[in-house]
Structure 1
Amino acid sequence: MKSFSLSQDQISRIVGAAVADELSRRFNRHIDFLTAASWNGAVLLGQGGASLSPDEKKYCGQRVAQFFGLNDEYLNHPDAIRLDDWSALIKQGVVERLERFSFKPAARNAEDSAFIHNADEIFQDAAAAANILYGRRRLLSFVAPHSLLGLELSILTPNLLGIETIDARGMTPESLSKNLLFGDVLVATPTLWRYMMQERLKAPDNTLAVSFGEPMTPDLAIEMRNSGFGVLRELYGSTETGLIAWRDTPGDAFVLFDHWGRDGDGLKRTQPDGTSREVQSMDILTWVGPSSFRLAGRRDGAVQIGAVNVFPEAVAQTLEEHHHIESCRVLVGRRSDGASRLIAHIVLKNSALPNEKTAREIDAWCKSNLRQQERPQIYNFESTPAA
């Protein structure tokens, strides 16, 4: 679609974020937040840059090509030595026709499956977001652009509004406080908002805060308003469904965007060509009006840790593969700042002692076998089988 206009620099940002995610997802290579944020077009694919092995280069290239709806082998070019080489090929491949995008959910599953969306629906979501962000002067984003909502909010929406977009992932709260201007909008997840509040981020008048990915708590919203963000927008959607609804205050009901409607207890999406289809949300919805609802829990048992959907039962099953663990159950607790955390209740085999050394060994094992958000923060050793 020619309605999409992505610069090569924007494509490079997407490529860098997708490569970092695929290295973590497929190869358990943890790329820290600041490093991933710095991966622009000049970064080498090999030594001195991303340091991709032949296998890593192959699968990362496939992931990037799939993201833009291209053939798996589209980036299989031996002459590509920098991320910009891939970005130039991508730009060439989509400049005339961009029909679909492919996104992997943050929660890793056994199939590691991706969800494909028509490009015109992604553009429709971005236009809806632009309507509630109209009048902003700049958009700054703490969110990686390779996710569905990250792409829509940090790249496509500011493109539609014709405003400058700034990748804020490499900024400290101190430098961000110095760079925020009257009329800006800052996009982040509640986990990142908590961090910025703890670091005493201050915003000038008429600055808008956008949040998505996990529930916004009333206490956090109050902190954000006290720090200078006069207007808050919380968005609701998912990799599976796209962008669905929004609200201004955690206590309010979510309001559907115009291209969504209620269909009994479910949802109906009107597509850009005028046709409609039924869509099942990832959460149970309690309707409070013809176009407004409250969330009543996930359908699939997932919990949100750092804006990533995590499945406690799957985490427990993985922990039970450890040679010291007889049985395990994983529960969700709350930290003092309102953030969720995983607590593992473990029954050890007779050969293991319930001490700090064992806990450290299990924690080290988790770093190799679980993603960062899936790792328990507390280990409780119990004497009775975990029920």
Structure 2
Amino acid sequence: MISLEKSDIFRVLVSLIHAGLKKSRCSSDDILPTASYTDKTPITVGGLEADSIELLSLAGAVSRMFCLHESGIEDYLLRYKTLGDWVEIVHQGMSREKIVFSTSGSTGSPKFCTHSWQNIEREIAGHARIFANSRRIVAAVAAHHIYGFLFTAALPRYMNLPVCDYCSSQQKLMPGDLIVSFPLYWQYLNDIISHFPEDCCGVTSTSPCKPDLIRSLIFKRLCRMTEIYGSSETGGVGLRHDHTQPYQLFSYLKKDAICLMDEMIWEDDTHFYPVRRKDGAVQIGGVNVFPDAVAQKISTHPSVKECGIRLIGNENDSRLKAFIVLSDGISYSPETRRAISEWLYTHLSAPERPVSLTFGAAIPRNDMGKEQDWEI
């Protein structure tokens, strides 16, 4: 089994804790930047300022991910409250058989997906062969979700490679770097980088990557872009190095033995193209968002009678738009729009938050009574 060292656990906990606080507060404005976290950082007063409710939630998330209940030391997370303490507790008490990941959706009920360390190592061994010439892992993805964990915690440990965070290290890219990110951040890198150092390769996952973006990155001397297809439920399923070709199923998997989250077009038993999700989720910035759940949440505002949500944009730049019907007795005014906009900012995460609001007497519907799109 891959044996995580304390530095690997620290990376994962920083990501998990920061995400938990951001979700709790619907903003990262008042959260200590991750680059400032150290072993001595208090989880509560004088550090991350987690209140009693947040502390219980964070401790629960850490315990669940690393199955600390199996060793009976999960309550230590409530006794010892520095980040270094938590790293030590996880290092001593984590399960040696399994690990649990949460789906990345910002809306809907998250699913908790258990993976055996044996399967984690099997996938990592395959990636290690593919990226054998890499000299360093550059992380631009959250380490507590399965994709980030595999490539920025487990893989560098398995290959004995250094790993650094691109956004916080202030280090320049170096020849032989393996850059791990997702389409929205790849677009950012494409905008700010004129050319990549020699032998730099990229990995992308979580949502489709535009062919034009991949072509632009290759034009800027990125040696190769590898697209990984998978999910929190399945782990990695397949990959491709050429965006014009289908994904190739990992050799140890069988087409009919895996339950996939997307509808597929199969060319044969080992090559496939993902088509669309089966659960109604859309991906915004690499995060699964459920439009119906967002609409229900907005409808809880006292001034909102009904809300419709639609997707706008394409692939990497997709966002949500909202059609709002005001409650009886509430008239539209600039002040009403501003009040609702401010409420959205404090109650929804960035991927959930509609970037366009349209107000009207009734949500547009077709002749069959089904909701239809509207112009903005």
| TM norm. shorter chain > 0.5 | yes
Partner of 2:290: 311
**Would the alpha carbon gap of residues 221 and 352 (structure 1) be closer, same or farther in structure 2, given more than 3 Å must change?**
farther
Q: Which amino acid aligns with 1:251?
A: T
Confirm whether residue 181 of structure 1 aligns to residue 174 of structure 2: yes
1:40: how far off? 3.6
How big is the shift at 1:111?
4.2
Q: State the one-letter code of the partner of 2:282.
A: V
Q: Secondary structure at the match of 1:170?
A: helix
SS at 1:12 equivalent: helix
Q: How does 1:222-371 map to 2 (within 5 A)?
A: 222-263=215-256, 268=257, 279-334=258-313, 338-371=316-349
Deviations 1:210-254 (A, max 9, x none): 111110001211221223212110111111111111112333211
Q: State the distance in 1 between where 2:311 and 2:301 align.
A: 21
2:99 corresponding residue in structure 1 = 101
The amino acid of 1:87's aligned partner reads V
Shifted more, 195-204 versus 27-36: the winner is 27-36
Question: Match of 2:152, SS?
Answer: helix
**1:34/1:169 contact within 8 Å kept:** no
Determine if the alignment matches structure 1 residue 114 to structure 2 residue 124: no
Give yes or no for the alignment of 1:31 onto 2:28: yes
Out of 185, 189, 202, the residue aligned to residue 209 of structure 1 is 202
2:200 maps to a residue whose letter is T
Equivalent residue letter for 1:246: L
Which one has the bigger strand percentage? 1
Partner of 1:193: 186
**Which residues of structure 1 form unaligned runs of 5+?**
269-278
Q: Is 1:82 aligned to residue 60 of structure 2?
A: no
- In 1, distance between residues paired with 2:146 and 2:358? 36
Give the alignment of 1:116-195 within 5 angstroms.
116-171=114-169, 175=170, 179-195=172-188
The answer (yes or no) to whether the contact 1:24–1:30 under 8 Å persists in 2 is yes
| d(CA) in 1 for partners of 2:254, 2:358 | 45
Give the Cα–Cα distance (whole angstroms) in 2 for the partners of residues 110 and 221 of structure 1. 31
* Alpha-carbon shift at residue 108 of structure 1 (Å): 4.0
Q: 1:196 to 1:236 in 2, by over 3 A?
A: same
Give the direction of change, closer, same or farther, for the CA distance of 1:64–1:237 in structure 2 (3 Å limit). Answer: same
Once residues 191 and 354 of structure 1 are traced to their aligned partners in structure 2, the CA distance between those partners, rounded to angstroms, is 35
Q: Which amino acid aligns with 1:146?
A: H
Cross-structure match for 2:49: 51
- Contact preservation (8 Å) 2:26, 2:349: no
- What is the letter of the counterpart of residue 64 of structure 1? V
Change (3 A) 1:37 1:237: farther
Shift of 1:38: 3.7
On the 8 A contact 1:184/1:206 being kept in 2, the answer is: yes
Give the letter aligned to residue 199 of structure 2: N
RMSD (CA atoms)? 2.2
Separation in structure 1 between the aligned mates of residue 32 and residue 284 of structure 2, nearest angstrom: 20
| Residues in 1 aligned to 2:251 and 2:90: alpha-carbon distance in whole angstroms | 32
Which stretch shifts more, 125-134 or 36-45? Answer: 36-45
C-alpha displacement of 1:17: 1.4
Contact 1:123–1:152 (CA under 8 A) maintained in structure 2: no
Structure-2 separation of matches of 1:220 and 1:110 = 30
Aligned residues: 362
Give the partner amino acid of 2:265. T
Identity in percent? 27
- TM-fit CA distance, 1:199: 2.5
Q: Deviations over 1:269-305 (max 9, x none)?
A: xxxxxxxxxx211100110122010111000111100
Q: Secondary structure at the match of 1:71?
A: helix
Q: For the structure 1 residues 338 and 372, does the alpha-carbon distance in structure 2 shift closer, same or farther, using more than 3 Å as the test? A: closer
Q: Looking at both structures, which has the greater relative contact order when contacts are Cα pairs under 8 Å and sequence separation is at least 6? A: 2
Residue in structure 1 matched with residue 368 of structure 2 by the alignment: none
Q: 1:162-207 CA distances to partner (integer Å, 9 max, x unpaired)?
A: 2211122414xxx45xx21111110111111112222335311211
Gaps in structure 2 of 5+ consecutive residues: 365-370, 372-376
